[in-house]
Structure 1
């Protein structure tokens, strides 16, 4: 059974993005497209942390509620959250109410603000500085890696700067989402469309 499915529109996608309209739209328009602004990277880092142990579809369906609850993932605003805000978030049924992940998001917002003083620039520039020299070229989902030397290095570097919930697997998923690596399957209509990597 092929991991690439051709849809009714004639476009080839991986099996995970072939049926659910929400996942299909996300795959077609967002996943793997370059995100280079601080707020955008902070949002994706936060949502990848919330996704840990859950399906991405769950997070994607809750993304509008997450954005409302976390003030659009503005790092400056989230960095100022106090116990009242944490209690509000833990009472919000629209998001994933996990105390450790909520606290990690606040911690990471503060670390994001502090990172602006780093020579490599803000969170976006810092994360992009771990772009590898090459990208995977998987033909099947089984060939898509879950970590890389760069995601391990990024994880360690972010932890040194006070970030939490930034393990190597989560950071590799972040790098995929941001377009830092291209793990679109060969044969997919999205392969090589980010402008970062050739097909």
Structure 2
């Protein structure tokens, strides 16, 4: 068996290289000319011109809606202008503090605080102060990671209601006094 390439093999190799096939081929053109028409693969220029186009153009559809036909709802311009000009009455940190404090207050009112505080007190009395603190920190991190992180993007009223468990757990952890339990 001979490993020398014949004339036909060299010619095919050059054709493939010109079409961008193989390790010796030049890199493909950059995406800058994405609008340029692409050549028909494996057709000579003479063959592409000789074939008649047998398909007639598609008829226009009568009742097809045009892209700009349907109105798109939008906020009135006056509202956008007022919102852009109005200064915030509260700073972002104050607003976040009130948001979290009201969620913790709702948890207190719903009795969720008592459940968290009881769990911390019970663990702290039976296992020690370190275990009570560890329980509170781990519970808070679990609520933050598996619940609160996934509900932040909801509608604001529902997101506030979903913040109640985390804010209440943080409140219970902050108000838990291990020395007062004895």
Q: Do they superpose with TM above 0.5? A: no
Structure number with greater Rg is 2
Structure number with the higher helix fraction is 2
TM-score by length of 2: 0.27
Greater relative CO (CA pairs within 8 A, separation 6+): 1
TM-score of the pair, normalised by structure 1? 0.25
